[in-house]
Amino acid sequence: MKKIGLAELIAPISVEEFFNSNWPVEPLFIPATKGKLEGIFSLPQMQDMTKIIEARQRKVRACLPDFDDEYSSIHLEPNDALKAYRNNMTLVFDSMQSQDATIADTLKNIRMDLGLVTGGEENDLCKARSIAYATPAGCGTRLHFDANANFIIQIKGTKTWRLAPNESVEFPTERFTTGSEEMSAALENQCHAPLIDMLDEDAMEVVMKPGCVLFVPRGYWHETTTEEDSLSLNFTFSQPTWADVFTKSLQEVLLRSPEWRDLADGLEGTDQERKEKAIARFEFLVKNLAADLPEISGRVLLQEGGLI
């Protein structure tokens, strides 16, 4: 069977053009083209949401109407999912790659075509996953941004997306939904300006119809609405940072030395003397490492860490 990868996903845009003009920061909307992604559209599970439910071994997330955000959701047995859908709840089918081999292959191909690093299956830095969203008419997702990069294929019905660049934080490592009570400390430290709570009138708007593909970069603001029932299939990729790559590869190297494997003992607790001793020990290790750093090669770190 023909391999489905990035080239077919973003056709007629070429991979080269995509890398030059979009990836990883600029969104891209690609109108439907006849016959494109036939290998996906012909899958039995893409014919109807009920087919996804029939093939489902694991739970389905149903979004609660209180907050119109997928993280305000409950986990349902597949048998109960249809009822929730008929009660106007968006269904989120995580891990679609585990219930269809073509989706699994496509996901892997896209990840490899994008050149995203995993660092091995354990603690996978990229966490490539495919998610199907079944959204009833009249529902939507409130304004938010994700820490992942997202490719969306509209399978059935239509969905309207409004998007805008994020002027408050570059390359966020956390998602954020407007109206959330609190923001994580990590995200707060990454923001250089207050976050917006609504989009401007002139925000980019695209109407996703069957066959359309949309690339939403990490951190890009977006909100969606549906006027009719909608089914879409997403390919989602965490965005391994240089900090992830450095700490993961360095950790692999450090763990080869008994002094770095030693228990980080006494750092927390009420015994001030033990705590000070622990801090001094860490200080000693860090200073020693700093002295070695000029000799350390990025390439060697990546090799030792199993990242290349």
Count of residues in contact with Fe ion, rule CB under 5 A: 1
Candidates 8, 69, 113, 146; binder of Fe ion (CB under 5 A) is 146
Distance CA 167, CA 238 (A): 21
Of 23 and 161, which has the nearer Cβ to Fe ion? 161
8 vs 146, which CB is nearer to Fe ion?
146
The 3-state DSSP class for residue 140 equals strand
Cα 165 from Cα 196, distance rounded (Å): 11
Residue number with CB closer to Fe ion (90 or 249):
90
CB of 282 to Fe ion, least distance (A): 39
- Residue 25 identity: V
Residue nearest to Fe ion (CB): 146
Of the candidates 244, 250, 247, the one whose C-alpha atom is nearest the C-alpha of residue 171 is 244
Quick one: 113 or 146, whose CB is closer to Fe ion? Answer: 146
Q: How far is the CB of 139 from Fe ion (least distance, A)?
A: 14
Mark the segment that binds Fe ion (CB under 5 A) among 27-35, 53-61, 141-149, 264-272: 141-149
Residue closer to Fe ion, measured from CB, 146 or 252: 146
Coil, strand or helix: which one is 161? strand
For the beta sheet containing 204-208, the strands, ordered from the edge strand earlier in sequence to the opposite edge, are 176-177, 140-145, 221-225, 159-164, 204-208
User: Least distance from C-beta 171 to Fe ion, angstroms?
Assistant: 16
**In this complex, which beta carbon is closest to Fe ion, that of residue 30 or of residue 307?**
30
Contact region for Fe ion (CB under 5 A) — 138-146, 190-198, 199-207, 248-256? 138-146
**Candidate segments 58-66, 145-153, 178-186, 233-241, binder of Fe ion by CB under 5 A:** 145-153
> In the range 25-64, which residues lie near Fe ion by CB under 5 A?
none
Closer by beta carbon to Fe ion, 234 or else 249:
234
Q: Is the dihedral of CA 201, 206, 208, 214 positive or negative?
A: negative
Nearest Cα to Cα of residue 202 among 228, 176, 165, 170: 165
Handedness of CA 282, 283, 285, 286 (dihedral sign): positive
Kindly indicate which of the ranges 61-69, 139-147, 257-265, 287-295 contains the residues binding Fe ion, using the contact rule CB under 5 A.
139-147
Residue 101 contacts residue 226 (beta carbons within 8 Å): no
Least distance from Fe ion to the Cβ atom of residue 177, Å: 9
113 binds Fe ion (CB under 5 A): no
CB of residue 144 to Fe ion, shortest distance in Å = 6
* Cα torsion through 158, 145, 162, 18, rounded to 10: -80
> By C-beta, is 68 or 146 nearer to Fe ion?
146
Q: How far is the CB of 284 from Fe ion (least distance, A)?
A: 45
Shortest distance, position 159 Cβ to Fe ion, whole Å:
12
User: Which residue, chain included where needed, has tokens 């490899």?
Assistant: 112
Task: Give a three-class secondary structure readout of 196-254.
Answer: CCCCCCCCEEEEECCCCEEEECCCCEEEEECCCCEEEEEEEEECCCHHHHHHHHHHHHH
Binding site for Fe ion (CB under 5 A): 146
